[in-house]
Amino acid sequence: MGCDTEAPDGYDPGAYPPVAVTVDIVTFTIVEDQLQILLVRRGQDPHEGRWALPGGFVRPDEDLETAALRELEEETGIVARPRHLEQLGTYGTPGRDPRMRVVTVAYWAILANLPEPRGGGDAADACLFPVVKVEADALHLAFDHDRILAEAVERIRSKLEYTTLAAQFCPPEFTISQLRRVYEAVWNARLEPGNFHRKVTRSPDYLKLTGDHTGPTPGGGRPAAIYQTGDAEYMSPPLTRSPTPRSTYSPRRKPRPPKEPPADR
């Protein structure tokens, strides 16, 4: 039996102020051992020219997740299905959008081996940025996207403490060193290799040995064992995040011009 979509007698939708619904998506990937996020440069007002999260208005005939993936494809050219997609939260502070009252539903996603993004739709450009750069307030995103991004970063960092999501950044077969570099990139921290190896291999059903090994190493070390992900969703026991940052962002300084030689007197 289908649902009755007709408005009940006496209901007047015009009696209520209009509210629009949008979606925004925070897309994480790892490039050169750094956690990166995908941003678009807005091609129109409001906030034309500023960087923002991919997103836009939800169409009447689509659900929220479908809208988020559509906007990601339209504004960045990314068609790959995320390895992980999760709703982050709802943001509806009055005045967050100067056009009208807009409530946005934010998602966060993991996309490994991200292809080169390209701007499209309402986006003039699309580019990857290191998370540490955004955390250093070097960009100042449009709308309230700084807040959304900060909460998404904290969500993924905390999830890696007690879930097995880190493996979603890895290829289907990987070494413990590759997995450790994922944690180091997301947490922006250095981890002691032996301690990390012991904890992740003792977590039940997190990893499965494939029986294969890497080839000989240049330094003559032992070949590393190759693993696949197991069936576990949670770490047992959880890993503890390092409080010491591995690196911080500092903008490149322009070189000082050479001093003029003293004039002859």
Torsion of CA 215, 218, 221, 226, to 10 degrees: -30
The reported pLDDT for the residue numbered 4 is 54
Q: Flag whether 1 is in a domain.
A: no
Q: Flag whether 67 is in a domain.
A: yes
Same domain assignment for residues 153 and 190: no
Same domain assignment for residues 209 and 78: no
On average, the pLDDT of the chain sits at 90
The reported pLDDT for the residue numbered 221 is 75
Q: Flag whether 135 is in a domain.
A: yes
Alpha-carbon span 56 to 94, nearest angstrom: 17
CATH number of the domain where residue 128 is located:
3.90.79.10
Q: Flag whether 219 is in a domain.
A: yes
Q: Flag whether 9 is in a domain.
A: no
Last residue of a domain, one of 121, 139, 159: 159
Per-residue pLDDT of the chain (265 residues; tens, 9 = 90+): 445 567 788 888 788 888 999 999 999 999 999 999 999 999 999 999 999 999 999 999 999 999 999 999 999 999 999 999 999 999 999 999 999 999 999 999 999 988 889 999 889 999 999 999 988 888 889 999 999 999 999 999 999 999 999 999 999 999 999 999 999 999 999 999 999 999 999 999 999 999 999 987 776 678 999 999 999 999 999 999 876 777 776 665 444 444 444 444 3
What sign does the CA torsion over 55, 58, 63, 64 have? positive
Same domain assignment for residues 89 and 214: no
Angle at 109 between CA 108 and CA 115, to 5 degrees: 135
State percent of the chain over pLDDT 70: 89
Same domain assignment for residues 55 and 82: yes
Q: What is the pTM of this model?
A: 0.87
95-107: per-residue pLDDT in tens? Answer: 999 999 999 999 9
The reported pLDDT for the residue numbered 255 is 42
Looking at residue 234, what DSSP letter applies?
B
Contact call for residues 29 and 78 (beta carbons, < 8 A): no
Alpha-carbon span 98 to 96, nearest angstrom: 7
Same domain assignment for residues 93 and 221: no
The reported pLDDT for the residue numbered 264 is 44
The reported pLDDT for the residue numbered 5 is 63
Beta bridge partners of 130: 36
The residue range of the domain holding 211 is: 163-229
Angle at 236 between CA 231 and CA 238, to 5 degrees: 120
Same domain assignment for residues 57 and 181: no
Per-state percent for the chain, helix, strand, coil, to nearest 5? 25, 25, 50
Contact call for residues 35 and 114 (beta carbons, < 8 A): no
Alpha-carbon span 137 to 264, nearest angstrom: 47
Q: Flag whether 212 is in a domain.
A: yes
Same domain assignment for residues 137 and 42: yes
